[in-house]
Amino acid sequence: MIPHALYRRPLMLVSGVWLVNAALLLAFVLVPSLHFELPAAVHTNLHTLFETVSIIVSMLVFSAGWFTFSREGRSNVALLCTIFFGVAILDFVHLLSYEGMPAFFIPAKDGKSISFFLAARLLVAGALLAIAFQPWNRRIGNTERHWLLGLSLVFALGVSVYGLVEPAIKTWFFVPGSGLTTTKITVEYFVIVLNLAAAAGFYLRMRKPQPYPLIPLFAAACLMALSELCFTLYATFHDQYSMVGHVIKVEAYLFVFRAIFIEFLEGPYRQLESARADLVESEEKYRLLFENSPDAYLMANADGSFHTANPAASAMFGITRQDLWRIGRNDVTSDPRLAGFLEERSRTGFARGELVLRRGDGTTFLAELSSSSYTDSRGRQMSSTFIRDITAKRQAEEEVLRLNATLEHRVRDRTAELQTANEDLERFSHVMAHDLRSPLVAIEGFAGLLRRGCGESMDDKQKHYLDRIQAGVARMAEMIDALLELADVSRAPLNTQTLDLSAIADKALSACRQRDPQRQVKAVVENSLLGQGDARLIATVMGNLIGNAWKHTARNPEAEIVVGVEPSAQGRVVYFVRDNGSGMTSGAVETAADESGTPRSPTESPRAGVVLASVRRIIGRHGGTVWAEPVPGQGVVFRFTLEPAPVRG
């Protein structure tokens, strides 16, 4: 596992400390010539020095941790400081019972002092292991803290009393002349395992930043394990392993002290520095907001005089910021609504409203104000107000209201104009149609006289020309009839009722058969085709669509016309007229969807475009739609929608 970048450099430093100590221990193990044994008096003095330092550091850890817990309440801090209070007691009893020291209740003996030493090491290892694996931010109260202190005291005093009064304990861990016992070495290795487990726990937590001093605690666990290894190797209390073990133990205690004192007591100062940095950042954000706000911002004293104004306020009032600071609210408004605005702010602490304000040049403008009152750090009553010029906004709103007020009148006028234009167009269509009939009648009449008078003497080419004249007249007559029909469709009122479309389709087919009795067409009309519409107009639709199908199937010896209905997901009924004739070109199909379309080739009926336009107009007046789907070589399908007939209960 790779530690977080925050821990890599300090981890290298503590690893260096550990490696130096491990190298020293390894040198003693590998080089027997380095072994030494101190005189008893020198050893006793050095041992007393090391243990005194350990006791002092333990008490410093306790006092610093106890104070830190009072501020933060973390359970791990309480555990560490109370454990080290018990460790201080055990180290003190160990020091007084060490061989060479004055009698403490009973004569000092080496075997007896080892029991206190091991108990202290077990306490430290257990505390580090607990801290490594339980959540750091778990908090407890003062009652739990005192319980932890009480348990630590009971354990330390209990071990001390038992060790002092139990004579057999002198031989449990050390036998003069034989050295360390198996029990002593086993306990030491157990303590080593606990410390290594704690070190592993701290190392695993280095994957991401932690809110506590991880590196010093990791170093303390590693050094404690190395120190305990030293205490498994000595043969006498005065040899090099004993001295190195005590030195490494003091180093481990100092790292614990660093974790508590340096990290935790410096924590408030670091928090203060962080708060200061946050305050600077917050002030910078406020300054940017203050300087760049598009709204004017004013801070005023209790008497209404301004003492802070942003650039937007200076631009809005046309007054320099320095001049704004020398005036007050009564200099920028005389709106009678000001008294009510101030009363609401005084009562609720906040007010919002509109006032007419005055610029430096005497002109006025309508503004929206949001103001709040507060008490500053000196106890002074202050107010802050945001101001927005809403003159343009109000003018736009008034313009919208004015337009809405005249909208109905304008719609009525436009509707009347449109109706008049439609009526003029319809009259023009009728006049044009009737006026065109007179020359057509004359052309048709003279063409007939010419055929009767000169028919026998005309050659084939002249007869062809005469046929073309009469065909053109017939086609023009059809166009005129279609235009009259379209105008009539647009003008006729709707009389909506339930219709039997099956009967209407049968009637249109009968009309086609009467015009072409020689044709054999298979016609299929579904039964009970019901719908809502005007009877005369829907008959026109059905007649035009069936007539169109009849014409386009003229060259098909197996002509077929089908009239039916299809379901629709939109809730409307879709009716269709399908044929298997020659089909329609894309232009003719577009004509069905576009009233302005005209036939695109001589083979198409001159009447087709207007006929299909009238179908579209009729269906549109009924609220439906019409469309065509050509299938090359298979005819075309016209579909249209109408409101379904009501269901009879």
Which ranges constitute the DSSP H helices of 326-390? 338-348
The residue among 563, 526, 545 whose CA lies nearest residue 612 is 545
Q: Tell me the pLDDT band of 461, cut-offs 50, 70 and 90.
A: confident
pLDDT at 606 exceeding the cut of 70: no
Contact 581, 635 (CB under 8 A): yes
CATH 3.30.450.20 maps onto the chain at 290-389
What residues does 636 pair with on adjacent strands? 630
pLDDT at 595 exceeding the cut of 50: no
Strands of 626-631's sheet in order across: 522-525, 560-566, 573-579, 635-642, 626-631
pLDDT at 298 exceeding the cut of 50: yes
Q: What is the average per-residue pLDDT within 575-583?
A: 84
The residue among 109, 106, 117, 99 whose CA lies nearest residue 51 is 117
For tokens 């020359």, the residue is 439
Q: Count Cα neighbours of 130 within 13 Å in the Cβ-side half-sphere.
A: 14
The pLDDT of residue 602 = 39
| Lowest-pLDDT range of 100-109, 148-157, 202-211, 461-470 | 100-109
Q: What is the average per-residue pLDDT within 75-98?
A: 87
pLDDT at 604 exceeding the cut of 60: no
Distance of CA 351 to the CA centre of its chain: 33
Assigned token pair, 414: 């436009």
The residue among 223, 266, 294, 260 whose CA lies nearest residue 60 is 260
Just give the CATH number of 396-491.
1.10.287
65-79, 354-368, 635-649 — most confident range? 354-368
CATH 1.10.287 maps onto the chain at 396-491
Mean pLDDT, the chain, rounded, equals 82
Fold of 495-642: Heat Shock Protein 90 (3.30.565)
What are the start-end ranges of the E strands in 27-129? Answer: none
Contact 313, 298 (CB under 8 A): yes
Contact 521, 560 (CB under 8 A): yes
pLDDT at 228 exceeding the cut of 50: yes
The pLDDT of residue 286 = 79
Interior CA angle at 206 toward 83 and 66, to 5°? 25
The pLDDT of residue 405 = 80
Fold of 39-175+184-265: Rhopdopsin 7-helix transmembrane proteins (1.20.1070)
3-state helix, strand, coil in the chain (%, to 5): 65, 15, 25
Distance from C-alpha of 145 to C-alpha of 79, rounded to nearest angstrom: 8
Q: What percent of the chain has pLDDT over 90?
A: 21
Its pTM stands at 0.46
Contact 325, 298 (CB under 8 A): no
> Mapping DSSP to helix (H, G, I), strand (E, B) and coil, where does residue 273 land?
helix
The residue among 608, 605, 625 whose CA lies nearest residue 616 is 625
Contact 365, 389 (CB under 8 A): yes
Q: What is the average per-residue pLDDT within 542-547?
A: 90
CA distances to 127, 197, 299, 310, 325 from 294, in Å? 60, 61, 16, 10, 19
Distance from C-alpha of 596 to C-alpha of 585, rounded to nearest angstrom: 16
CA distances to 58, 134, 258, 359 from 87, in Å? 7, 21, 17, 78
Q: Tell me the pLDDT band of 611, cut-offs 50, 70 and 90.
A: low
The pLDDT of residue 603 = 40
The pLDDT of residue 265 = 62
The pLDDT of residue 207 = 87
Distance from C-alpha of 575 to C-alpha of 166, rounded to nearest angstrom: 112
pLDDT at 370 exceeding the cut of 90: yes
Q: Which residues of 26-43 are buried (b: 16+ CB within 10 A; e: fewer)?
A: eebeeeeeeeeebeeeeb
Contact 530, 644 (CB under 8 A): yes
| Lowest-pLDDT range of 133-142, 369-378, 408-417, 436-445 | 436-445
**pLDDT of 501-516, one tens digit each?**
999 999 999 999 998 8
Q: At what angle do helices 110-133 and 142-165 cross, to 10 degrees?
A: 160
Distance from C-alpha of 593 to C-alpha of 590, rounded to nearest angstrom: 5
Distance from C-alpha of 21 to C-alpha of 243, rounded to nearest angstrom: 12
Q: Tell me the pLDDT band of 600, cut-offs 50, 70 and 90.
A: very low
Contact 62, 126 (CB under 8 A): no
The pLDDT of residue 522 = 92
CA distances to 275, 336, 392 from 360, in Å? 42, 19, 19
Which ranges constitute the DSSP H helices of 568-642? 586-593, 608-621
* Phi, psi (rounded to 5 degrees) for 576: -145, 155
The pLDDT of residue 464 = 81
CATH 3.30.565.10 maps onto the chain at 495-642
**pLDDT of 466-498, one tens digit each?**
788 877 777 777 667 666 666 666 666 778 899
The residue among 499, 483, 486 whose CA lies nearest residue 538 is 499
pLDDT at 601 exceeding the cut of 60: no
More confident residue, 238 or 514: 514
The residue among 420, 357, 368, 371 whose CA lies nearest residue 394 is 368
Residues in the chain: 649
* Phi, psi (rounded to 5 degrees) for 285: -65, -40
Classify 290-389 by CATH class. Answer: alpha beta
